[in-house]
């Protein structure tokens, strides 16, 4: 068995793990990242599209923002439509802030390239990653690769391995409290090399179901429609998707939308989930390993960024100044912001989607909530400050 020593062992080479490794490296702190999949597989996942200012600032701090600053699209607002109504939420007016439209795939690629350029240790195809000696001062990660067993002895372990990872399962069962709401529907999303139907995002509440018009650039569109949670992807030809999307869009968008072949098509389940605490001894959970939000509020990737903000400061404070206070307050600091994003994402999902059991009264309240939001400056200010991202 090969044995290496590092300061911080990181499980998962998604945005959380790579961003943490990069921020630590810039402070002279050594880490090893273990990823069970190949780099191509990680890059093949199409996920988030909207970055909060906090995430943008973190990528600039991590010296990985050049391409984002060149190719990213700064958005000052977006539209909400319901019935015949269309209303623009002016983020800039209500908050003075904006969001950046730049795909998670590109963020991950920029982080991968930066890690490689700076000689980072990111091991792909690391199988059966396990955490051992967690209650000792030198916990370790073991894994198999190329038929060999390897161990990485660490000071600390960051579980950045997503919802299905091993790190949350390695927390003591009696310690962990989990909170969950599973939604009775999913999102069917496609990516197409077509001009976006609008310069800004359009969130649609339609009686047949939610729809979202987003983008990755001005030549690459990302569209979603709400679908049954057990929908069979094989049943959804491109034509069927475009027909259903156009039924749900406002007339002018339905008439002008540019359609084309999908280059990616997938169904994402929707759930709200929080695991508490996010730290046990020398193990920290970050990103989707600790929490999941329905993508309605574009919070998933951005919450991973705020976790890594708190975790990087805690570890840098420890190694550079011998501080343990930020390590001790890590879980509490993260969870205060996580729960506010969970609430916003749950609320926005509730007012934008059609629920199978929805009564006419429920529907009436949904429309009234949207009508109030679009008619009240105060409501839009509260909405906008949540959407652009609450302070870290």
Residue 291 annotated in active site: no
| From ligand FAS, ligand PHB, none, interface partner of 11 (C-beta below 5 to 8 A by class) | ligand FAS
What mask of x and - would describe binding to ligand FAS in positions 256 to 285, judged by CB under 6 A?
------------x-----------------
Residue 224 annotated in active site: no
| From ligand FAS, ligand PHB, none, interface partner of 296 (C-beta below 5 to 8 A by class) | ligand PHB
Strand partners, 90: 77
Q: Which of 296, 308, 273, 274 is nearest to 387 (CA)?
A: 296
Residues in 21-80 at the binding interface with ligand FAS, rule: CB under 6 A: 34-37, 42, 47-49
Identity of the residue, 24 or 101, whose beta carbon is nearer to ligand PHB in the bound complex:
101
Considering only 166, 213, 253, 351, the residue that binds ligand FAS (CB under 6 A) is 166
Q: Which of 364, 78, 86 is nearest to 250 (CA)?
A: 86
Query: Does 122 sit near ligand FAS (CB under 6 A)?
Result: no
Residue 149, φ and ψ in degrees, nearest 5? -100, 135
Q: Which of 185, 142, 165, 144 is nearest to 284 (CA)?
A: 165
Catalytic residue among 139, 196, 294, 295: 295
Residue 75 annotated in active site: yes
Residues in 87-106 at the binding interface with ligand FAS, rule: CB under 6 A: 104
Identity of the residue, 35 or 374, whose beta carbon is nearer to ligand FAS in the bound complex:
35
Query: Does 227 sit near ligand FAS (CB under 6 A)?
Result: no
- In this structure, how many other beta carbons lie within 10 angstroms of the beta carbon of residue 282? 21
Query: Does 16 sit near ligand FAS (CB under 6 A)?
Result: yes
Give the integer Cα–Cα distance in Å for 328 and 157: 15
Residue 130, φ and ψ in degrees, nearest 5? -135, 150
Query: Does 337 sit near ligand FAS (CB under 6 A)?
Result: no
CB of 184 to ligand FAS, least distance (A): 17
Residue 92 annotated in active site: no
| From ligand PHB, ligand FAS, none, interface partner of 301 (C-beta below 5 to 8 A by class) | ligand FAS
Q: What is the DSSP string of 47-86?
A: ---EE-HHHHHHHHHTT--HHHHHH-EEE-EEEEEETTEE
Placement of tokens 């998707």 in the chain? 241
Q: Which helix (H) or strand (E) holds 379?
A: helix 377-388
Provide CB contacts within 8 A for 84, sequence distance 6+: none
Strand 177-192 relative to strand 262-276: parallel, antiparallel, unpaired? antiparallel
Question: Would you tell me which residues interact with ligand PHB (CB under 6 A)?
Answer: 48-50, 201, 214, 222, 295-298
Considering only 89, 160, 225, 373, the residue that binds ligand FAS (CB under 6 A) is 160
- In this structure, how many other beta carbons lie within 10 angstroms of the beta carbon of residue 155? 18
Strand partners, 264: 191
Query: Does 301 sit near ligand FAS (CB under 6 A)?
Result: yes
Identity of the residue, 164 or 174, whose beta carbon is nearer to ligand FAS in the bound complex:
164
Cα angle 112, 115, 118; round to 5: 145
| Region for residue 287 given its phi and psi (left: phi exceeds 0; alpha: psi -120 to 50; beta: otherwise) | left
| From ligand FAS, ligand PHB, none, interface partner of 214 (C-beta below 5 to 8 A by class) | ligand PHB
Identity of the residue, 296 or 333, whose beta carbon is nearer to ligand PHB in the bound complex:
296
Identity of the residue, 206 or 299, whose beta carbon is nearer to ligand FAS in the bound complex:
299
Catalytic residue among 25, 150, 280, 299: 299
| From ligand FAS, ligand PHB, none, interface partner of 166 (C-beta below 5 to 8 A by class) | ligand FAS
Give the integer Cα–Cα distance in Å for 213 and 187: 12
Identity of the residue, 170 or 296, whose beta carbon is nearer to ligand PHB in the bound complex:
296
Residue 387 annotated in active site: yes
Q: Where are the alpha helices (DSSP H) in 89-175?
A: 91-95, 104-117
Query: Does 15 sit near ligand FAS (CB under 6 A)?
Result: yes
Show which residues are catalytic.
Answer: 75, 203, 295, 299, 387
Residues that bind ligand FAS (CB under 6 A): 11-17, 34-37, 42, 47-49, 104, 126, 129, 160-162, 164-166, 268, 287-288, 295, 298-301, 304
């Amino acid at each position: 068995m090969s044995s290496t020593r590092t300061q911080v062992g990181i499980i998962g080479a998604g945005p959380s793990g790579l961003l943490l490794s990069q921020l630590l490296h810039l402070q002279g702190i050594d880490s090893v990242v273990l990823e069970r999949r190949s780099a191509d597989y990680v890059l093949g996942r199409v996920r988030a599209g909207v970055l909060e200012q906090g995430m943008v600032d973190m990528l600039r701090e991590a010296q990985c923002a050049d391409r984002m600053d060149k190719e990213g699209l700064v958005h000052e607002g977006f539209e909400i439509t319901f019935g015949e109504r269309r209303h623009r939420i002016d983020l800039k007016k209500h908050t003075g802030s904006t969001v950046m439209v730049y795909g998670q795939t590109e963020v991950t690629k920029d982080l991968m390239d930066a890690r490689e350029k700076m000689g980072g240790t990111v091991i792909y195809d690391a199988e059966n990653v396990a955490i051992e000696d967690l209650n000792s001062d030198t916990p370790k990660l073991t894994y198999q690769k190329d038929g060999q067993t390897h161990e990485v002895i660490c000071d600390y372990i960051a579980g950045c391995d997503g919802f299905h990872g091993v790190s949350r399962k390695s927390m003591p069962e009696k310690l962990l409290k989990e909170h969950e709401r599973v939604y009775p529907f999913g999102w069917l999303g496609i990516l197409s090399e077509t001009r976006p139907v609008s310069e800004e995002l359009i969130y649609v509440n339609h009686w047949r179901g939610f729809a979202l018009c987003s983008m990755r650039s001005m030549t690459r569109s990302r569209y979603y429609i709400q679908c049954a949670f057990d929908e069979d992807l094989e049943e959804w030809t491109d034509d069927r998707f475009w027909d259903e999307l156009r039924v749900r869009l406002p007339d002018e968008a339905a008439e002008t939308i540019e359609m084309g072949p999908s280059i990616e098509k997938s169904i994402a389940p929707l759930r709200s989930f929080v695991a508490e605490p996010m730290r046990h001894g020398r193990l920290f959970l970050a990103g989707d390993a600790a929490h999941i939000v329905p993508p309605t509020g574009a919070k998933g990737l951005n919450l991973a960024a705020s976790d890594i903000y708190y975790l990087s400061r805690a570890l840098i404070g420890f190694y550079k100044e011998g501080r343990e206070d930020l390590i001790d307050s890590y879980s509490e600091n993260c969870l205060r912001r996580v729960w506010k994003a969970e609430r916003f994402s749950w609320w926005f999902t509730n007012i934008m989607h059609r629920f199978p059991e929805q009564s006419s009264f429920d529907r009436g309240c949904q429309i009234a909530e949207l009508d109030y939001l679009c008619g009240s400056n105060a409501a839009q200010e509260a909405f906008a400050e949540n959407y652009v991202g609450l302070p870290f």
